Amino acid sequence: MEVMEIRFQKAGQSHWAVNQLQVAAGSRIVVRFNHCQDLAQVVQAQDLAPEAVALDEIEVERTAVDTDLTHAAGNHSDAQAALHQARQMVRDHNLRMKLTAARYTLDRHKLIFYFTADGRVDFRELVRDLASVFKTRIELRQIGVRDEAKLLGGIGPCGRPLCCSTFLGEFVPVSIKMAKNQKLSLNPTKISGICGRLMCCLQFEDEVYEEAKAALPDYGERVTTIDGPGKVVGMNLLAHVLRVRLDGHEVAVDYDLEEIKSPAKKNG
C-alpha cells in the first residue's frame, strides 16, 4: 500500500494517509481533516505495510490548484490580522496568556490560535467573543516554548535558521548527557537554543559519539601503549586519539587507538 506523510504547516506535525492520488513529495493537496477542508503538503510517499504506520482519518480530496493556493495566501493574511485583534481582546480580558500565531483552515470553518501560558487558563469567555467577532469556529491550542520557536522561526547560535522551523517535524528528547558526550561547555547559554531549552542539534550526532565512546577506554583507565603502560588523561572521540600519561613521565602523549596495545574495552 502506498502511503504519504503530509504536513499542514512547514515543519509541523506529521500525519499519514493513503496516497490515493499517487502524488509525489512536494505536492500540495486538499484534504478533509477534523471536519474541515485544509491545504497540506506531501513530505514523502512510499510503499509500506498497512501496519507500518498509524494512518490518520484524513480524506484526500484532490491536488491543489492555483485558486487553492491563492485562497490559502488570503487566509494567511487574514489570520495575521485576526491575531493582532485577538491579542487586544486577551488584554481586555486580562488573561495571562500569550498568543503566538493564528491559522485559518482552507475552508475558513475554523480559526486556530496558538498560545503559551505558565499554567491553565480559563479562556471560555474569550472564545465566545472571538467567535462572535470572526464568525467561525474558534480553537485555542496551548503550546510549549519549543513549539513557539518552531512557529515563529529565527536564527540559531550557529547562524542558520532554526532546525525546528525548517525541517524538524517532531521534537526528540534532548538531554544534558548528549552535551557531555560531545565534550561541550555545560554553560546553559552555550548549549541552549532561543527557546531556552537544550538545542535540538545536540541529538543529531549523539549516536556517533556514543559509538566512538564505546570503542575507547574511559578517563583514568590504565592502558598499554607502544611505549609502555600509562593512564588515560584525555581523548578525541571522533579522531580515536587517546592522551596517555606514561608511568614515570609528567608530560602526556597522544596515541592513535591503533597504537594502544591493550585498551580497556567497555561493555555497554
Domain contains 210: no
Range of the domain at 187: 148-203
pLDDT computed for residue 265 by the predictor = 46
Q: Is residue 265 part of a domain?
A: no
pLDDT at 263: 55
> What CATH number has the domain bearing residue 228?
2.30.30
Q: Which residues of the chain have pLDDT under 70?
A: 50, 262-268
| Residues 44 and 75 grouped into a single domain | no
User: Angle, nearest 10°, between helix axes 66-92 and 124-134?
Assistant: 130
Tell me how many helices (H) and strands (E) the chain has: 7, 12
Domain count across the chain: 4
Structure confidence at residue 267 (pLDDT): 45
Count of C-beta atoms within a 10 Å radius of residue 263: 20
229 within domain boundaries: yes
Q: Measured between alpha carbons, how far is 196 from 44 in angstroms, rounded to an integer?
A: 31
Q: What is the pLDDT of residues 163-206, one digit of tens each?
A: 999 888 888 899 999 998 888 889 998 999 999 999 999 999 89
Tell me, what's the pLDDT at 50?
66
Same domain, 91 and 53: no
Specify the 3-state DSSP secondary structure of 264.
Answer: coil
Distance between CA atoms of residues 11 and 116, nearest Å? 19
- Shared-domain flag, residues 133 and 160: no
**Position 78 in a domain:** yes
Q: Are residues 81 and 128 in the same domain?
A: yes
Give the pLDDT score at 163. Answer: 92
The pLDDT of residue 36: 95
What is the Cα–Cα distance from 110 to 112, expressed in whole angstroms? 6
Q: How far, in Å, CA of 204 to CA of 102, rounded?
A: 30
The pLDDT, as a whole number, for residue 123 is: 95
Residue 208 lies in a domain: no
Residues 139 and 192 in one domain: no
| 13 within a domain of the structure (yes/no) | yes
**Number of other CB atoms surrounding residue 228 within 10 Å:** 12
Rounded Cα distance between 266 and 113, Å, is 51
- The H-assigned helical ranges of the chain are 66-92, 124-134, 145-152, 163-166, 176-181, 188-191, 206-214
Q: Within a domain: residue 198?
A: yes
Q: What is the DSSP string of 66-104?
A: HHHHHHHHHHHHHHHHHHHHHHHHHHHTT-S-EEEEEEE
Q: Are residues 134 and 153 in the same domain?
A: no
43 assigned to some structural domain: yes
Q: What is the DSSP letter of 136?
A: S
Looking at residue 52, its pLDDT comes to 80
Q: List pLDDT tens digits, range 206-215.
A: 998 988 888 8
Residue matched to cell numbers 549523539:
206
CA torsion sign for 186, 187, 188, 194 is negative
